[in-house]
Structure 1
């Protein structure tokens, strides 16, 4: 089966004897022909009737033929004018359909924001409506980065990364501790977990983005990183695995808010630890709209942290 042919656009250079009329002349002609008078066309175009007449006269001179019959009666098109009107209308319609020709599109400020997948899905996207409602003049483009595997430069105006903020002069986001959390179905199978040492035989979910070492140290456990089980190189995947009862995840409460609120995940032991890695904002332009968006995002992260803290009553 042959692949479908791709559409192509062929650009043809204009012949030296082709004479292009001005857009203002074409608009004046189309408006006068549609509205039936130079005065009405002038009102629509926000110019004088004299200006409309001069533009149309210049167009007729270029074409070498009259487009209107001029007399005491209402303005009327010549036979050539009627034919030309159909062509001009189609051409102006194509030009009007180009987004960049619209004033609203020209006023929009484009802002590209890059963020890791779990942060984008759990923190950024749920709050975006509040930003777009307050800033209709900004056209956002959200792109996903790949933490751990992709640390290269991007063309984003505002970039959120996961790692060591100090190494890149970044501004930390989500100032909270990581806590173990598990699905009720898994806790039923494992039985009561009353103290951290009882995790010795429990399935601990593994991800290089959230190592267990800081929490083990806070719990007084001299344990190595878990060595068994699937290695999930994405925090969202680790949370999904925990929700489905596959193991216990070590996670930021802000990223698990809706699962904690619904009871799909329960925090364990009431003990948290500072994470090994942080989300952070890379340096960005000090001008709008990047500076305003970054300030808004920091405030949203603070609110997400406060909201998640209220959900941390450990399972019994």
Structure 2
């Protein structure tokens, strides 16, 4: 048995045939396809030649009408075109999104970046932000990150112009913990409570400012190598945290933590933004984060912190 050769028409010819069948004339189909009427007529004629079948009856001036073969062929063509149009790769893509990978210390990401992210997304819908976490003291940030939020000393770990926040430190405790002890009248009374410790933030600067410079660093309890863990322990009434006001502002506003003393001291280590791979997306994120942090600095300063 001899197989008949397959006579596949061009996609352009099939689209022209479908358009002419709907529009009823070469001129109307040409307007739809952004072609000339002559070009549409040639495509249809080429299709008829390949099929060896007339698909339209030319009836000037009344226009075109389908032949029996055309009536039979049209639903098959439309089904094939519908399948092609349904394929995701054939659909017109929207505006290309620019990916941006940001590495941040965990607490800064959870307390400062994530709550404000809807504002960044609304302002920059074309940027696909991927936020990863670094490990304080144990490792540097994500090597593949475009932008890194780093916690360190100035100018050893971060440059002065990279600083995002000029944080202030103060003791914070849960109301439940304070209720279990005698009322705190002076900073010295704080020494009767468990003081949470972390290598990221020693108590010495605040104790010195409070007139307690001879007090050694606390050495009881777990050593928490993450500022977020220190806040979590304070919220669980395990001890008093020496905390950054910027990181604990939500807990203070909700009353989950309270500030026993008005005394604050400037943080010796800072959060800084380091740009590893400059790009329009990285610049947009950096500008947004700087503005966000400036607002936090302003709110903290206006709250009477000293």
Q: Say yes or no: TM over 0.5.
A: yes
Cα RMSD of the aligned pairs, angstroms, is 3.4
- Of 71, 75, 94, 1:104 maps to 94
- Of 52, 55, 65, 1:69 maps to 55
Q: Relative to structure 2, which stretch is displaced further, 215-224 or 191-200?
A: 215-224
Aligned to 2:80: 87
Q: Distance in 1 between matches of 2:16 and 2:132?
A: 44
| Contact 1:36–1:75 (Cα < 8 Å) also in 2 | no
Aligned to 1:163: 152
Partner-residue secondary structure (3-state), 1:229: coil
User: What are the residue-to-residue correspondences of 1:223-234 with 2, within 5 Å?
Assistant: 223-234=215-226
Q: Distance in 1 between matches of 2:229 and 2:266?
A: 21
**TM score, norm. by length of structure 1:** 0.76
Q: Distance in 1 between matches of 2:94 and 2:251?
A: 40
The total of aligned residue pairs comes to 292
1:177 Cα shift?
A: 1.2
- Of 161, 172, 177, 2:163 maps to 172
Q: Distance in 2 between matches of 1:21 and 1:148?
A: 66
Cα offsets for 1:176-227 (capped at 9, x unmatched): 2111111111111122222222222311122233232332333342333322
Aligned to 2:108: 119
| Contact 1:284–1:290 (Cα < 8 Å) also in 2 | no
**TM score, norm. by length of structure 2:** 0.78
| Contact 2:16–2:44 (Cα < 8 Å) also in 1 | yes
- Of 168, 171, 182, 2:173 maps to 182
User: What are the residue-to-residue correspondences of 1:1-316 with 2, within 5 Å?
Assistant: 28=16, 39=27, 41-54=29-42, 64-65=50-51, 69-72=55-58, 73-75=64-66, 77=70, 79-94=72-87, 97-98=88-89, 102-106=92-96, 108-170=97-159, 171-219=162-210, 220-311=212-303
Q: Distance in 1 between matches of 2:201 and 2:55?
A: 80
Long gaps (5+) in structure 1: 1-16
| Contact 1:123–1:304 (Cα < 8 Å) also in 2 | no
Cα pair distance change 1:98/1:161, threshold 3 Å: farther
1:48 Cα shift?
A: 4.0
Structure of greater Rg: 2
Partner-residue secondary structure (3-state), 2:75: helix
| Contact 2:103–2:147 (Cα < 8 Å) also in 1 | yes
